[in-house]
Structure 1
């Protein structure tokens, strides 16, 4: 029977889901170091960023339930070490890391090395309570593995001088930090055991940074302490500093001064010793609890692909992406409508009756002024013509002629007599002069 080749064709969704399942089951957890770039904190509280080195980069997401435990403010350019699960963001087909823990690079590497060695030594039983030796109730001589010039030596000697001046002190001087310090410390512990001249051995130094105290987290020191047949007390740094030496040693003192008080304890201080033993027990119990918790977390990670909470985070990531796209679209639509509104507003201004009335008013004012000028010019022209005509009229006026001494004769019919042939003897005629008229009677015609 032949198989239908179409049965082996993947849809994009099915392919992405298969790749995501493969990544989730194959990579339980990975530690990755890189530089933060494109850092974004979404409104949901989740972090989205990229981790990069000189040659590559990877997209990452850290959900708010995890990022609230980060002890520093993450920003672009930070060099960090992260613990993450490898996954795939299905909608875009993007390979990404889901970050669960984040440390600054230097601190994170040291912490990782610390946890790795602690797990290894615990598995060998070096932290077990059953192998820890009791501090002698009576101590005649104590050995100090520490710096000959350090504050720790001064603190121990000061407390012993005040509380137990009868106790002899043998100093095994050593480097307590730097490249060769761990080998130097282990060597001095071995020398003290070879000489067998002290009842209790105190491995100590004062406080400092994680890097300063790191020699006491080295395996060579831990094994030298574990192999010591002399009861050991580890007093490294301050009370908050817990080193591998503290876990391997028979007893841990929170400070160098506390170690001196422990080996010079009185009846009242025996109670303090019980408290310290209780603290050691709590540390050991916490370690075992952490080991069990790590195992539980490993089992839990296998269920990640079907974990509803993880699925919810994935959907939240999609929602953040859609929200960002929606915001951009709404902003684009708003800008389009604002541009259209501005155009319509300008058109309304251009078509405003007030503007038209103002324009027509200006035009009417101009026409009125032009009409005034035209009427004035026309009036002046007609006035000039009138003067000319008046002068012409004066030139041809009969009155002016009469004023020069001429007269006009009219018959009784008021007709002008222009020739003697029009007059008769004894005819009554009127003679018009410039200042009046005369009534005459024709007596003779020549």
Structure 2
């Protein structure tokens, strides 16, 4: 029987397989949007939701954990069409393929929400929402323009607030549809009309609350661009506080409700009266302060006028002239005394610096220098003579001539070198011997070495 050797392979455990499959699903598919019908919905006691999404051909298990489902606006029901944002995953313990839902909306609202985000990102990239384009609201508003439905609750709320807070504000309504297919074009036309007429200080654009579909006109691009192009400061007041429209992002200011927008543009009458009273008190204080300063200035001018009268000035000039005359006399006396002292000092310096005196002093110094020079020369001569005698005496002591004079002689070879050894001469060599009274030339005929003891 023949055995076939299979190639060596790593054998997976089931848990390893499910882990690898889960990793592949989560890393490859990541986040996706999915539309389907809810079935088998279960709201667990833990707060998590478990359900299936299906269409006519397939279904997939889903889980939405309580950290995400608490932000969902709808309450899921079996048979409901929804749009979900989810991650593909695998429940490892059972090997079940499933979706982890992060966001869920009604299918109709969900598609609108996607369209909302897409247009928002586009307009934001163009810079329409940049803070640098925002205009400040005027401090005092005389005329308010309102772009909304003339029969809706929003305009009534705005008028009620304005009448209660500041009935002096004039209101101009630019009526338009705020819901339906044609609403966005009509709203943008009304905004352009208000901007062209330029008859209001601030413009409120908005409507009352409703569903996302009801408010959709304020998410349309024509409305957003009309608000951006408007030279009049625009307040967006669309729906309720929880509602957000693209008009809110592009407007110069967002109000949570139409009533809140009316409050932003109107000061309360009591508040105005309080401000007027405050300004009145401040004005009175400033006037009183100005009067006090003017009175003090007038007194100062009167005092200066009294000081600058011709008679007063003449007396002052006379006194000043007398003082200057006395100071001049004193200065002249001081200068005269100083001049006399300087003359005496110069005379003394002139006598001290007389040429005759300098010549006499120079002669005296010259005679002294001559005497000191002669004495120095004689002394130097004596010293040199004594020094010469000592050197001659020392030289005579070590001189060879003195040695010769005592009976000694010096023998030299033909080159004048002193002969100190028999090795320096040869037989028949001529040598010269110096004695006290002359020289003797001789020829060497014999050399006899000194006998040495054995």
Give the CA deviation at 1:54. Answer: 2.6
Question: Which residue number corresponds to residue 212 of structure 2?
Answer: 210
Q: Tell me, in whole angstroms, the C-alpha distance in 2 between the residues paired with 1:146 and 1:189.
A: 10
Does structure 2 conserve the Cα–Cα contact (< 8 Å) formed by 1:262 and 1:269? no
Question: Which residue number corresponds to residue 33 of structure 2?
Answer: 31
Give the CA deviation at 1:31. Answer: 1.9
Where in structure 2 are the equivalents of 1:286-297 lying within 5 Å? none
Q: Tell me, in whole angstroms, the C-alpha distance in 2 between the residues paired with 1:173 and 1:179.
A: 16
Whose Rg is larger? 2
Give the CA deviation at 1:30. Answer: 1.5
Where in structure 2 are the equivalents of 1:114-153 lying within 5 Å? 114-153=116-155
Give the CA deviation at 1:146. Answer: 1.0
Where in structure 2 are the equivalents of 1:297-316 lying within 5 Å? none
Q: SS of the counterpart of 1:80?
A: strand
Q: SS of the counterpart of 2:35?
A: strand
Between 1:27-36 and 1:7-16, the stretch displaced more is 7-16
Does structure 1 conserve the Cα–Cα contact (< 8 Å) formed by 2:135 and 2:252? yes
C-alpha distance 200-69 of structure 1, shift in aligned 2 (>3 A): closer
State the TM-score, normalizing by the size of structure 1.
Answer: 0.52
Q: Tell me, in whole angstroms, the C-alpha distance in 1 between the residues paired with 2:267 and 2:65.
A: 50
Q: Deviations over 1:155-195 (max 9, x none)?
A: 32333344444433332211101111112111221222233
Question: Which residue number corresponds to residue 304 of structure 1?
Answer: none
Where in structure 2 are the equivalents of 1:172-211 lying within 5 Å? 172-211=174-213
Q: Deviations over 1:28-66 (max 9, x none)?
A: 321222111123455665433210123332221223443
Give the CA deviation at 1:136. Answer: 1.6
Structure 2: gaps spanning 5 or more residues: 1-5, 273-454
Does structure 2 conserve the Cα–Cα contact (< 8 Å) formed by 1:70 and 1:103? yes
Give the CA deviation at 1:269. Answer: 6.6
Q: Tell me, in whole angstroms, the C-alpha distance in 1 between the residues paired with 2:127 and 2:212.
A: 25
Structure 1: gaps spanning 5 or more residues: 271-446
Where in structure 2 are the equivalents of 1:246-325 lying within 5 Å? 246-265=248-267
What is the RMSD computed on CA atoms of the aligned residues?
A: 3.1
Q: Tell me, in whole angstroms, the C-alpha distance in 2 between the residues paired with 1:40 and 1:163.
A: 52
For these two proteins, the number of residue pairs brought into alignment is 267
Does structure 1 conserve the Cα–Cα contact (< 8 Å) formed by 2:165 and 2:268? no
Q: SS of the counterpart of 1:238?
A: coil
C-alpha distance 23-194 of structure 1, shift in aligned 2 (>3 A): farther
Does structure 1 conserve the Cα–Cα contact (< 8 Å) formed by 2:36 and 2:55? yes
Q: Tell me, in whole angstroms, the C-alpha distance in 2 between the residues paired with 1:256 and 1:43.
A: 41
Query: Is 1:160 equivalent to 2:162 in the alignment?
Result: yes
Give the CA deviation at 1:145. Answer: 1.0
Choose between structure 1 and 2 for higher RCO, CA contacts under 8 A separated by at least 6 residues: 1
Q: Deviations over 1:268-314 (max 9, x none)?
A: 879xxxxxxxxxxxxxxxxxxxxxxxxxxxxxxxxxxxxxxxxxxxx
Q: Tell me, in whole angstroms, the C-alpha distance in 1 between the residues paired with 2:269 and 2:122.
A: 38
Does structure 1 conserve the Cα–Cα contact (< 8 Å) formed by 2:233 and 2:252? yes
C-alpha distance 9-197 of structure 1, shift in aligned 2 (>3 A): farther
Question: Which residue number corresponds to residue 245 of structure 1?
Answer: 247
Question: Of residues 77, 90, 99 in structure 2, which corresponds to 1:75?
Answer: 77
Question: Of residues 107, 110, 113 in structure 2, which corresponds to 1:105?
Answer: 107
Give the CA deviation at 1:240. Answer: 3.4
C-alpha distance 150-8 of structure 1, shift in aligned 2 (>3 A): same
Q: Deviations over 1:360-379 (max 9, x none)?
A: xxxxxxxxxxxxxxxxxxxx
Q: Tell me, in whole angstroms, the C-alpha distance in 1 between the residues paired with 2:101 and 2:241.
A: 31
